[in-house]
Each structure stands twice: as C-alpha cells, then as structure tokens.
C-alpha cells in the first residue's frame, strides 16, 4: 500500500516525507480496521481510500494559509488527519458531533503519534473557541450557505472558509448570505479520481 501511495503522490507536486507516508498508510489501515465495526466511511477498499480519502484531502495542503485550522463535520478525520500529517507545523481542531468518530480520531492520534490535532465532540453551532481560526475547512457540508451560516463564529476577522467540493455550483453562490462572498475557486487535481474537485475560498465582506 505504501508503494501505491508513493505512485499517487508522484503524480502531484506535493513533497511527502517517508514518515508522512507511513502515517498516511497507517491511518488508512486503522480506518479500514475500525470501519468494519463502526461504519465510518462508505469506501470499503483501502486502496480506494488512498485515492478518495488521502489524495483527495492532501491536494488541499498547498492552499492552507495560516497556523490554526478547524475541520467541521470531520467524520473519521477527513480532510483533517491527512492535512495535519502533511502540516506538522500547523494546528488542527477536528469537530464532529458523533462520539464514535471522535473516539476513532483519538485512537489515530495516539497510535500514529500525531501531536497537532485536537478532537472535539460538539455540534458546530454550540462550539465556542477561545481563539478564532485562520480557516474553517469542510468536506462534508451539504451547501456552502449552511457551512458559512453555521460556522460564522469560527474564523478570525481575516480568516476564511475553505469548502472542498466536487463540481463548482454557481447556484450555491447565489444562495450565500449577504456578508459572505467567494474570493477564489481552485481546481484541484486528484490523481486517478473520477470527476471534478474544487476548493472554494469564501470570506466575509468588510
């Protein structure tokens, strides 16, 4: 599996160390193992997870600006865990309302010795951070409108929202609240993944 991940990474401009490769593969192995009992992801094949979960997350890495990030509705830690592995100098808070997912994430950071992740079990609207985040990440939100509306209180005054999307939907942009606008749409290349992937950057208007 390590060899397979190296092949995929080689099709991108990403720089990944041996230790990071080991941690990413270790994460997939744990996800595969826990998935049988806890049903954490609909992707059953670990080799498919490498493309659909690992590569799909880490291609966002070059676009992370700042120090503190929150992954909202992280599920089993996506994209938060792969991004934390890729960016050991940045801090990641992984938020999910389901206990079994947070238990899994705690086990991952313990076993793989990831020290820049803080798992939090909470509904997003009830979570009140002491300090705002440079960016709010989400891969699982239904719509950008929901994302910015429910996470309005999370970024710093000059922070942003990063929505990982498949196709970019112009209709969703028209539904955004008045205070928020799309500042950039980045087309992402995920090796061997069918379909489009985009990173949509949203910021509050001054």
Please give the annotated binding residues for S-adenosyl-L-methionine, written as ranges.
73, 78, 124-125, 139
**Residue 177, both tokens:** 């609240």
Residue 64 near residue 135 (C-beta atoms within 8 A): yes
Rounded to the nearest 10 degrees, the angle between the axes of helix 18-38 and helix 99-111 is 150
CA dist., res. 122 & res. 192, Å (int): 34
Residue 87 — left, alpha, or beta (φ > 0 → left; ψ -120 to 50 → alpha)? beta
Task: Cite the annotated binding site by residue number.
Answer: 73, 78, 124-125, 139
Q: For the chain, count helices (H), then strands (E).
A: 8, 7
CA dist., res. 76 & res. 172, Å (int): 26
Q: How many alpha carbons fall within 13 Å on the CB side of residue 203?
A: 11
Q: Element (H or E) spanning 145, and its range?
A: helix 144-150
Only one residue has tokens 């599920």, namely: 75
């Amino acid at each position: 599996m390590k060899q397979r991940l190296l092949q995929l990474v080689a099709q991108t401009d990403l720089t990944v160390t041996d230790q990071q490769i080991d941690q990413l593969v270790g994460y997939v192995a744990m996800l595969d193992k826990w998935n049988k009992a806890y049903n954490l992801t609909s992707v059953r094949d670990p080799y498919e997870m490498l493309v659909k979960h690992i590569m799909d997350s880490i291609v966002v890495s070059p676009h992370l600006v700042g120090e503190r990030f929150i992954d909202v509705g992280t599920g089993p830690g996506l994209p938060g865990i792969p991004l934390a592995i890729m960016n050991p100098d940045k801090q990641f808070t992984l938020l999910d309302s389901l206990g079994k997912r947070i238990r899994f994430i705690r086990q991952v950071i313990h076993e793989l010795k990831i020290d820049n992740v803080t798992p939090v079990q909470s509904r997003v609207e009830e979570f009140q951070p002491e300090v705002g985040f440079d960016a709010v990440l989400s891969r699982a939100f239904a719509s950008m409108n929901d994302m910015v509306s429910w996470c309005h209180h999370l970024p710093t005054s000059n922070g942003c929202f990063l929505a990982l999307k498949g196709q970019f939907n112009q209709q969703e942009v028209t539904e955004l609240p008045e205070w928020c606008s799309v500042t950039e749409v980045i087309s992402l290349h995920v090796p061997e993944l069918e379909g489009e992937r985009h990173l949509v950057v949203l910021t509050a208007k001054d």
